[in-house]
Amino acid sequence: MLDLRSKFPDYYQYHGRNISKKLSLSNVRILNDYYSKYSLDKKILNLSSKTSTEQLLQSNLFKKVIIEVGFGDGEHLIESALSNPKVLFVGSEVYVNGVAKVLKQILEKDIKNIRLCGMNFVYLLNILNQNSIDELKIINPDPWHKKRHFKRRLVNLENIIKIIGIVKNKYASYITTDSESYFNYINEIFSSNSKIIHENKNKILSKNDRLYGVSRYQRKAIKNGKKIYQLTF
C-alpha cells in the first residue's frame, strides 16, 4: 500500500489526516506483507472497462455487498463482518493507521468477508457498476466545521448522485453525523435538488437504533452530549 501511495499520490489524496502518527514498524510490515491480498487498490488501478463490480469484488459467493466509507479504526466494520459472514463488506479508508489496524484484525480473526480500499473513496465510487451494492454507510464523516472548508465535505451533490446510482434500492444508504451543520447541509442538498434526487429520511438516533454508538468517534460525541443524526436515502 505504501508503494502505491507514493506511485499514485492523486488516488490517495485527501484534505485531512492520512497518517496522523508515525506508522509503527509492525504496521509497515503488515501493510507491506498482507495489504495486497485484501485490497482492491491494484485492481482499481488496472481496471479495464469490461471488469464488472462482481469481478472486482469477487462477490459472487456472498449474499450481499455492503460498503462502509471512512471506517476509522474499523470497529464497526470488523463487528459487522464477524456477525454477517455471508455478507461481503468493502471498507474504504484513507487513514493508513486505521487500515493497518483492520488488516491486523482480519489476520488475527481470519476474517474472509472484508475487502479494503485505501484510496480516496471517490475513486472507488467512480468505478462501481450501477445497482451493484446493497447498502452503503458513512459513519460520522469528517464534519469540516468552517464554512470555507464545506467544499471538502465528502457528502456533496455529486457524490450523492453517484451513491444513488450504485446502490440497488432506495433508503439503503446511511449517513450518521454529530454535526448539526453537516446534517442541515445535506438536507439542503436534498431539498434543493428534488428534481434529480429522491427525498431523504431523517432521524435522531437513540440507544436501540442499529447505528447508534457504533464507533469511538460517535461514542465520544454522545458522551459530550451531542445528538447523532441519521440521514437515509
Ligand X SMILES: C[S@@+](CC[C@H](N)C(=O)[O-])C[C@H]1O[C@@H](n2cnc3c(N)ncnc32)[C@H](O)[C@@H]1O
Catalytic residues: 142
> Is 158 in contact with 121 (CB distance < 8 Å)?
no
* 140 near ligand X, rule: CB under 6 A: yes
Interface residue with ligand X among 27, 39, 80, 92 (CB under 6 A) is: 92
* 4 near ligand X, rule: CB under 6 A: no
Kindly indicate which of the ranges 54-62, 104-112, 135-143, 192-200 contains the residues binding ligand X, using the contact rule CB under 6 A. Answer: 135-143
* 221 near ligand X, rule: CB under 6 A: no
What is the closest distance, in whole angstroms, from the C-beta atom of residue 50 to ligand X in the complex?
Answer: 26
Q: CA neighbours within 13 Å on the CB side: how many for 174?
A: 20
Q: How far apart are CA 79 and CA 108, in angstroms?
A: 14
* 135 near ligand X, rule: CB under 6 A: no
> Is 91 in contact with 100 (CB distance < 8 Å)?
no
Interface residue with ligand X among 215, 228, 229, 231 (CB under 6 A) is: 215
* 91 near ligand X, rule: CB under 6 A: no
Interface residue with ligand X among 139, 166, 167, 186 (CB under 6 A) is: 139
* 230 near ligand X, rule: CB under 6 A: no
Q: How far apart are CA 117 and CA 99, in angstroms?
A: 9
* 29 near ligand X, rule: CB under 6 A: no
Q: How many residues bind ligand X (CB under 6 A)?
A: 22
Interface residue with ligand X among 72, 128, 153, 182 (CB under 6 A) is: 72
What is the closest distance, in whole angstroms, from the C-beta atom of residue 221 to ligand X in the complex?
Answer: 9
* β-bridge mates for residue 167, sequence order: 133
Indicate the angle between helix axes 180-192 and 157-166, nearest 10 degrees.
70
Nearest to ligand X of 82, 191 (CB atom): 82
- Give CA separation, 180 vs 4, 143, 146, 225, in Å: 36, 9, 13, 13
- Dump strand ranges (E) for 28-72: 64-69
The values of phi and psi at residue 229, to 5°, are -90, 140
* 71 near ligand X, rule: CB under 6 A: yes
Q: How far apart are CA 157 and CA 12, in angstroms?
A: 21
* 121 near ligand X, rule: CB under 6 A: yes
Residue 137: all three cell numbers together: 454507510
Binding site for ligand X (CB under 6 A): 14, 16, 69-72, 92-95, 98, 120-121, 139-142, 154, 215-218
